[in-house]
Amino acid sequence: MADKRKISIPMMRRSRALVTSSRLWKSRLVFWMGALATGVISAGFAVAADRAQGLFSFLTRTGWHIWLPLAITPIGMMLSAWVADRHFAGSQGSGIPQAIAARHLRDDAERDSLLSIPLVIGKIVLTIVGLACGASIGREGPTVQVGASLMLLSARVGGMAHAKGLILAGSAAGIAAAFNTPLAGIVFAIEEMSRAYDSRSNGVVLSAVIIAGVASLALTGSYTYFGVVHVTSRFPGDWPLVISSGVLGGALGATFSKLTLLLVRWIRRWKGLTQWRKVVAVAGVAGLVSAGIGIATGGMTFGTSYAFARSAVEGQTLPWYFFAGKFVATLAATVSGIPGGLFAPSLAVGAGLGSVLGAIFGSSASLAAVLGMSGYFAGVVQAPMTAFVIIVEMTGNHDNVVPIMASAMLGYGTSRLIAREPLYHALSRLWAADVIRKLRSGQAGAEPQAAGAH
């Protein structure tokens, strides 16, 4: 009994210190405010992104206006790429590779190059500009960089350590708030951001996801992103569709990943670090490609293509050229150098592919779209758990968990055979290398100057 009392007294003191410590309460409050800000900003970002797409649709809807994208899209993408390159370096692309890279960088100055409040502002504004000019991008990846930046700032203001865990928490909160998918946010943090389970971070991640999710729900209400799917797969009748969605979706996703990395590396070597004219030229060519495909498909590939993906999930069969056009338009936007994410456009490509496969196999168009999403998305990001969890949550399709899971696993396995390197992690290494090279070159340039001053 005496030994138990000796053990319990320090534990009681420690518990009392955790409850009464003003320093710990300050850290908690700052952390909660960061998570709350992530949810509020995510909700506002979603509204602004929808308005931007609505504006583009209004301007290019009928008559001779359908040709306006030939001017609006290239000019808008060139402006966005130029501003990002000159004033918000680090905001380009999805934002997820930057968050992953920041977790592996050790120095605060290095992390600030990829996660900061100025980058939050630039990321949001320029993603909205991209959507307003019809670029095939989404807001979900950018929301990850926004959430990670806000939580990293919270760590510094609150005097908290474990920056890696807080970046992880901000990233998870960003996904959860962007899609209203809290489980997917948690799985994304474990599978895609960290590629390993860290029990020390699970409480931080859960807290951030809950707070950001509540804030987002308070502003936008409860909803499923793509509506609710009521179709249930039949065994064995629908399993040829499941297998083909996984295999073909994974192969197409891996092709997208390999082409993206090939083009990104080639463009980076060609334009160098300071060639802003080449930056604008790349964005202009990508804008013309995006505009041409958008006009050829009747406007189906502009923006996120959310309305068409949702219509496929609700049972409408999409034309075969939709997924092919969306694939190329998304590839063009991804390598263009403008800020913007891959999640929503990739899900649209998957829905289009599934819609075509559903027509071939004579299966439900709704089920086929969901399975196509799962296979293709898992093929692009090589994160099968994130793929099937996010799709189940976005469609409320709990009756088809096993087929969706099987499609995701087949997509992942096929993708790994074609593209050995996961897309986001390969891009994160490029970002980390750029940050280290720039900081070292800046320090090398500053040392002679300092010596001359003395």
DSSP helix/strand/coil, 237: coil
Determine what percent of the chain is predicted with pLDDT higher than 70: 82
User: 74-88, 150-164, 252-266, 380-394: which has the minimum mean pLDDT?
Assistant: 150-164
Domain containing residue 269: CATH number:
1.10.3080.10
13-17, 80-84, 236-240 — which one is most confidently predicted on average?
A: 80-84
* Residue 3 is assigned to a structural domain of this protein: no
Residues 313 and 422 in one domain: yes
- Three-class HEC string of 357-379: HHHHHCCCHHHHHHHHHHHHHHH
Check residue 20 and give its pLDDT: 53
* Residue 233 is assigned to a structural domain of this protein: no
Mean pLDDT in residue range 216-235: 70
Residue 439 CB partners (closer than 8 Å, separation 6+): 107, 109, 110, 113
Residues 388 and 309 in one domain: yes
Where residue 348 falls among pLDDT bands split at 50, 70, 90?
very high
Residues 163 and 52 in one domain: yes
Mean pLDDT in residue range 45-72: 88
Cβ(111)–Cβ(102) under 8 Å? yes
User: 90-99, 196-205, 316-325, 381-390: which has the minimum mean pLDDT?
Assistant: 196-205
How many structural domains are present in the chain? Answer: 2
Check residue 221 and give its pLDDT: 66
Helices (H), ranges, 108-160: 108-112, 117-132, 140-157
Cα distance between residue 96 and residue 382, in whole Å: 14
Structure tokens at 254: 């891996």
Residues 287 and 382 in one domain: yes
pLDDT tens, residue by residue, 157-202: 766 656 677 787 778 888 877 777 777 777 787 776 665 555 555 6
pLDDT tens, residue by residue, 326-341: 999 999 999 999 999 9
User: 140-154, 216-230, 314-328: which has the minimum mean pLDDT?
Assistant: 216-230
Residues 203 and 297 in one domain: no
Strand partners, 138: 341
Structure tokens at 393: 């949550």
Check residue 454 and give its pLDDT: 37
pLDDT at 445 over 70: no
* Residue 229 is assigned to a structural domain of this protein: no
Residues 119 and 251 in one domain: no
Residues 214 and 121 in one domain: yes
Question: Residue 18: exposed, middle, or buried by beta-carbon count in 10 A (0-12, 13-18, 19+)?
Answer: exposed
Count of other CB atoms within 10 angstroms of residue 447 = 10
Residues 29 and 159 in one domain: yes
Residues 260 and 165 in one domain: no
pLDDT at 25 over 80: no
User: How confident is the prediction for the chain on average, in pLDDT?
Assistant: 82
* Residue 7 is assigned to a structural domain of this protein: no
Cα distance between residue 104 and residue 164, in whole Å: 8
* Residue 30 is assigned to a structural domain of this protein: yes
Looking up tokens 């802003």 gives 276
* Residue 371 is assigned to a structural domain of this protein: yes
Cα distance between residue 72 and residue 58, in whole Å: 13
Question: Residue 359: exposed, middle, or buried by beta-carbon count in 10 A (0-12, 13-18, 19+)?
Answer: middle
> Among positive and negative, which fits the CA dihedral 107, 109, 115, 116?
positive
Residues 181 and 278 in one domain: no
Check residue 16 and give its pLDDT: 52
* Residue 93 is assigned to a structural domain of this protein: yes
* Residue 234 is assigned to a structural domain of this protein: no
Q: Which domain holds residue 169?
A: 25-220
Check residue 198 and give its pLDDT: 56
pLDDT at 128 over 60: yes
Where residue 450 falls among pLDDT bands split at 50, 70, 90?
very low
pLDDT at 447 over 50: no
Check residue 166 and give its pLDDT: 76
Residues 275 and 392 in one domain: yes
Cα distance between residue 260 and residue 201, in whole Å: 32
139-148, 174-183, 193-202, 211-220 — which one is most confidently predicted on average?
A: 139-148
Mean pLDDT in residue range 414-425: 91
Residues 89 and 124 in one domain: yes
